[in-house]
Structure formats: C-alpha cells, structure tokens
Amino acid sequence: MLLVFVTACWSSSQPAAANPPTTPEPVASSRAFRPRPTMSCGRTISGMLDKMRAELVGIPEATIDEMVDSAIESCGQMGWSADLLACYDGAAGSTDLERCQPLMTAEQTEDFTRRMMDIVSRMNQLPPPPPTP
C-alpha cells in the first residue's frame, strides 16, 4: 500500500484533468445519522428476560414474547443509549435492573411503560364469552 502511494506521488507523468461534476452530490444532514449503540436492543432485551424469568411465572409465553418484541421496538425507536444498554447487560437480577431506570429519558420511560401497560391490560381482560348456539 505504501509503495502505491509513494509511486503515485513521485510519478513524472501529469495527471489527467478532472471534469467537475455538473450537479453537486446531495449531503445528508447531521440529523440523518444517529449514533447506534454498540450493543443490540434484541440481545439486551433477551438478556433482561433471562434475568427476570423467575418473576414471570404464570404469564403465558405468547404474552412474554409480545412484551419482548415491544421492548425491542421501544429501544430501537426511542434510541436507548449505549450506557443504558450496558447497564441492563451488566445487571445480575431484577434489583440491578431497577438501578438502570434513571438512565432512561422521561420520553423513553413513558413509551416503554405505555407499551407494557397496553400488553398487561389486554392480558387481564376476560376472554369474550363463547357464542350461544
């Protein structure tokens, strides 16, 4: 690589004239690029679930799956910070998980809580009565 660079710098031939582009290339605004956490939402949420599994006894697996999917969606859409994900990853149990809560913004907390409450409220609803013959 160094040899190619040195040869190009000390070449005796003249470089070809470059034609400037007729239209400038579009430039994305700095807001278009959101830094992505190094840890994935899916891996972190799955790890949280593993740590809380004992507390979820009696909750149907389909409901747990819905909670996990909703939490992953909240994490991605609300842009949970790398610090928050690292805190959840490093937590040993539910007590440690609670210590991570202050790392969420008010908007993230509101979104996550609303999503979980929607799922829990549906879980607590009685199923509709069977149709009468």
In the chain, where are the structural domains located? Answer: 36-123
Q: What percent of the chain has a predicted confidence (pLDDT) above 90?
A: 43
pTM of the model: 0.63
Q: Which residue has the higher pLDDT, 43 or 30?
A: 43
Burial (CB < 10 A; 0-12, 13-18, 19+), residue 76, is middle
Written as six digits, the tokens of 27 are 């430039």
pLDDT score of 6: 31
